[in-house]
Amino acid sequence: MKRMRPVALAVFVVLAGDSILTHASADPPQTPPDESVLGTVEVVGSAGAMGHVPLQKLAVIPLVTQGAADSMVQLITKRDIDLSGQFDVVPDAIAPPGPWTLDKPIDWAPWLTEKVEVIVRVYSEKSKEPNKTTLVGEIYLAPPKDERKAKDAGADAAPEPPPPPPKPVFTTRIEAGNNELRAASHRLVDALLGGLTGRPGSFASQMTYAGRVGTKWRQVFVLDSDGFNLHAVGPNNQTALSPVFGPGGEVFYAQSNDFHRFRIVHGDNAALLPMSIPGSVHGIAFSPDRKSLAFSTFDSGEGTVWLSSPLGAPLKKVSNEPNANHPAIGPGGRVAYVAGRDAQRVYVDGKAVSPPGFLASAPSFCDTEKGLVVVFTVGFGAWADVIAIDLNGGGIRRLTQGMGANSSASCSPDGRLVAFFSNRGLPGKGPGLYMLPIARPWLSKKISSEVGEGLRWDWITPK
């Protein structure tokens, strides 16, 4: 597979008769817009500047592994919690001397010298069911400061018996088939994040996008939320666009086998969706429950967004603006898209919310802890940045800045993270797929060197 070159701005396909023309969704204005309306990305140091509380230090105990399951769940737990941006995960190098085994009690004293406040212990057990493994996760919290002082009372104090081993404040267990340990490890982390923060994580999820294959075709790809387990879906000798996860977790996408009209298909066999659709499809979105479908078409020189809710119901036109494209459906049936003949703007339920003058693209709803927002990219010329904004167009926040062209922003199912492609040229990082916590965008991390377009992020559907 040959990776696709980075793209500066989202691209959409316009069909005129039997010919295909690929170009930026609208010609940008000649005069650069006022970039100051986008604000600047917050930058926070370890001291917790700008009013942000420093992250708690968390250690995942480097237990002596007893097999592949132990190794996998430990590696995935460390990586997922680090990517979540909720804790400062300390490296194994600062762990007190081991070896750490399950029968060795946790001694808080050496961890406290490193200011660790939370300890997570994960391991595997043999399940009572055949061909299954039990993954176990435990959370331990540092003793209160007043208890620590009591233990440090003067040298003349009478010796006390050693305290009993600390007990976990939270324990979770996941039963998994031996061939699904990776997905089960992500589910374990999601439960641990729920125990730690009160809001479960969403690492038991996948992303999908369209990537270039060779010099001519585009194919659909799927990968896990941590950037691993990359695999292709559908034919590799045709043109695929706008993949999304639909009913049953199957991937739906727009496809053309001859550069003519694009139609909605699904799965490895590119089965045609039996719907009467006016024009050529160039954008697809499902609702969070995957019961409603939105898509954009290009027909007779005009782009339109349609809604079929529930899936299969008569089509309803939901856009009135020209060149409507890039639909997204959020909680409560909210519909977002981009439209406009000049610099396209993001619309939510027919109301423009993105600032004028910038070329906006690919909105995605983000159900955050502080409410529902829309993330998308805006740009001018060679740069493009990821932006978050309230549904009424207020509270604009810039999530990337000064790092080349960033595109295809998509929000995690739990509303905490935003993934996007970037062509940035920073030493040791470079182009690829990046992830950042929406509440702490300065913690951006590269998770894969793959680059594509039309990124979407959704839950893994249990089988």
Q: Which sequence spans correspond to the domains of the chain?
A: 11-16+209-459, 57-148+165-197
Q: What is the dihedral of CA 227, 179, 413, 368, to 10 degrees?
A: -90
Residue reference for tokens 């075709």: 217
Kindly state the average pLDDT of the residues 2-11: 36
* CATH of span 11-16+209-459: 2.120.10.30
- Which one has a higher pLDDT value, 65 or 147? 65
209, burial (CB in 10 Å: exposed 0-12, middle 13-18, buried 19+): buried
pTM of the model: 0.89
Quick one: three-class SS letters along the chain?
CCCCCCCCCCEEEEEECCEEEEEECCCCCCCCCCHHHHCCCCCCCCCCCCCCCCCCEEEECCECCCCHHHHHHHHHHHHHHHHHCCCEECCHHHCCCCCECCCCCCCHHHHHCCCCCEEEEEEEEECCCCCEEEEEEEEEECCCHHHHHHHCCCCCCCCCCCCCCCCCCEEEEEEEECCCHHHHHHHHHHHHHHHHHCCCCCCCEEEEEEEEECCCEEEEEEEECCCCCCEEECCCCCEEEEEEECHHHCEEEEEECCCCCCEEEECCCCEECCCCCCCEEEEEEECCCCCCEEEEEEECCEEEEEEECCCCCCCEECCCCCCCEEEEECHHHCEEEEECCCCCEEEECCEECCCCCCEEEEEEEEEECCEEEEEEEEEECCEEEEEEEECCCCCCEECCCCCCEEEEEEECCCCCEEEEEECCCCCCCCCEEEEEECCCHHHCEEEECCCCEEEEEEECCCC
- Look at residue 421 in the predicted model and tell me its pLDDT: 98
Do 11-16+209-459 and 57-148+165-197 fold alike per CATH? Answer: no
Kindly state the average pLDDT of the residues 167-182: 95
Kindly state the average pLDDT of the residues 120-127: 96
Whether 150 has a pLDDT exceeding 90, the answer reads: no
Whether 73 has a pLDDT exceeding 90, the answer reads: yes
Whether 164 has a pLDDT exceeding 80, the answer reads: no
Residue reference for tokens 């160039």: 282
Task: Output the CA–CA distances (angstroms, integers) from residue 138 to 167, 172, 364, in the order listed.
Answer: 9, 7, 34
Q: Which long-range contacts (CB under 8 A, 24 or more apart) does 336-342 make?
A: 336/363, 336/364, 336/365, 336/374, 337/283, 337/294, 337/296, 337/305, 337/363, 338/25, 338/362, 338/363, 338/376, 339/303, 339/305, 340/26, 341/26, 342/26, 342/27, 342/29
Whether 2 has a pLDDT exceeding 90, the answer reads: no
Whether 337 has a pLDDT exceeding 70, the answer reads: yes
User: What architecture is the 57-148+165-197 domain classified under in CATH?
Assistant: 3-Layer(aba) Sandwich (3.40)
- Look at residue 152 in the predicted model and tell me its pLDDT: 55
Q: Average model confidence (pLDDT) for the chain?
A: 88
Residue type at position 361: S
Backbone angles phi, psi at 339, to 5 degrees: -160, 165
CA-wise closest residue to 29 among 303, 405, 356 = 356
Whether 354 has a pLDDT exceeding 60, the answer reads: yes
- Look at residue 32 in the predicted model and tell me its pLDDT: 79
Kindly state the average pLDDT of the residues 16-30: 40
Whether 46 has a pLDDT exceeding 50, the answer reads: no
Whether 7 has a pLDDT exceeding 50, the answer reads: no
End-to-end CA distance of the chain: 29
